[in-house]
Chain A
Amino acid sequence: MTVNGTRYDRDVEPRTLLVHFLREELGLTGTHVGCDTSYCGACTVIVDGRSVKSCTYLAVAADGADVRTVEGVAVDGTLHPVQEGFWERHGLQCGFCTPGMIMSSVALLEQNPAPGEGEIRHAIEGNLCRCTGYHNIVRAVEYAAAKMRGEEPPAPDWEVPS
């Protein structure tokens, strides 16, 4: 399979899950494991352009596939607009859900460059966050969407008089 643009040819035990392959075989520990049963979304990666939960995805089923993880979204040390958005709009606290949130958001913006707030919330509905209350995550994705369209991101909430 190809992971973040690099091709890997490996023999794996049939029971190896994609998340174990990424973390243990390739050392890509950015993809987290939370619930282990495909509820929480911490393990979200992008396979052939679509977000999936890697904790119940057999590594052998990704044979020949194009896999992208959170390690692959920044290019040459420059943060991806989604990562920048999480930074600029405080889209994380403990950070446990963040790799999954970022991958779901990246997948969304590749399919829909101008999502409304409702569409963003639906796109991350398969990712649980115990800390942020989601609000700043939505703002982070809005920031990224604007940046990727070459527009000025909306001002942060804390600078908008209420």
Chain B
Amino acid sequence: MLRLPVVRHVAPTSLDEVIELLAGDGAMLAAGGTDLVPNLKRRQYPEAKTIVSLRRVAGLDGVSVADGGTIRIGALTTVARLATDDAVPEALREAAGAVASPQLRNRGTVGGNLCVDTRCHWLNVPDTWRQAAEPCLKAGGEMCWVAPAKKICWAVSSSDLAPAMIALDASVRLVGPDGERTAPVGELYRDDGLVHLAKAPNEILVEVIVPAPQGRRAGYRKLRRRGSIDFPILGVAASFRLEDGRVNDPRLVLGAVASSPVRVTAAEELLAGRPLTDALIAEAAELAGKSVRPMSNTDLTSRYRKRMVPVFVRRLLEDLAAD
């Protein structure tokens, strides 16, 4: 049986203590632990010394709707709750309901989902398998096995919630040693498989703020080998308003095709101000397909995954047009 490496475990009750403890050598933050613990079991974090649990900090759990319709989602809210809470916009419920499996949705949190580590076939295997080859960049080595020419890590952004949150213009509130700040969810990510979050390791995501949907149509579609359990190998999130039959303020975001979620601005510009005809949808879908280059580092082939981009974008936009 795979066991955890020898680690300490602390579960403080205040955010300040969590932040302070995270400054320690080899400290790893855990919420539900459904991403962190399997990764630790596979010895992906040799530096790990202490698990700092967020779960005893009060006030980080729950969904509330303010007067103006703004939705606030605490970082410790479970993915299962997000998938079933009527106050949550449908696109987010769809994305949450597609995460992993029921048991992990019961345990996994929204904050953990947005921060989930990037993944790669060469890395997310037991360490005995990894030892068969030189360690890759993310395992502390000198090269990337997926694209050896350059010293770039292509590990894949694998959160289902991230693209949906970005399509809904959500932002995150982060609390760190120097106080707190709010940033759009899109700005939480860097297109770098090694360091995929644009935040300090001891900055804690405390809540997600989703603006009032105000007639926005939005949805999420996911590609994976099986209908359950698996991480996304493509996620498509879109949102827009229809005004006088024309698309207003569109968002199109792809997940699991790069080390960060990818906003397809070219397609958004094409859609804006135009009537949502089948021809326009097809054109936007083609643009989305051309804008990304999935690598051979996750389930199914990169060619297939690239070919599925326009298909999934088209299906989602058609469904939203028909709503």
Contact = CB atoms under 8 A, between A and B. Distances in A.
Contacts of A15: 3-7, 9
A61 B41 CA distance: 17
Interface string B80-109: 100000000000000000001111101100
A125 B228 contact: yes
A41 B104 CA distance: 10
B174 to A, nearest CB: 24
B53 interface: yes
A38 B34 contact: yes
A58 B3 CA distance: 11
Contacts of A13: 6
Contact of B3 (A20, A52, A57): A20
Nearest to B50: A14
A38 B3 contact: no
A1 interface: no
A126 B101 CA distance: 5
A96 to B, nearest CB: 15
A2 B235 CA distance: 40
Interface in B215-238: 227-229
A16 to B, nearest CB: 8
Contacts of B51: 14, 58
Given A37-B38, A37-B41, A41-B101, A14 B106 contact: no
A20 B102 contact: no
B9 A14 contact: yes
B175 interface: no
B15 interface: no
B1 A56 contact: no
Interface in A14-31: 14-15, 17, 20
A138 interface: no
Contact of B1 (A14, A20, A39, A60): A20
B299 to A, nearest CB: 12
B66 interface: no
A53 B9 contact: no
B150 interface: no
A104 interface: yes
B1 A41 contact: no
A122 interface: yes
B53 A126 contact: no
Given A14-B51, A51-B106, A126-B229, A58 B1 contact: no
Nearest to B107: A52
A126 B4 contact: no
Contact of A60 (B3, B11, B41): B11
A125 B100 CA distance: 9
Interface in B97-132: 100-104, 106-107
Contacts of B38: 37-38, 56
Given A14-B9, A104-B102, A125-B101, A56 B34 contact: yes
The residue among B4, B8, B53 with the most chain A CB atoms within 10 A of its own CB is B4
A17 B3 CA distance: 8
B42 interface: yes
A33 B3 CA distance: 12
Given A33-B1, A38-B100, A58-B30, 8 more contacts: A37-B2, A38-B104, A52-B103, A53-B104, A53-B107, A56-B37, A61-B33, A125-B227
Which 7 pairs of residues, A with B, have the shortest CB-CB distance?
A126-B101, A14-B9, A125-B228, A15-B4, A56-B37, A50-B106, A36-B2
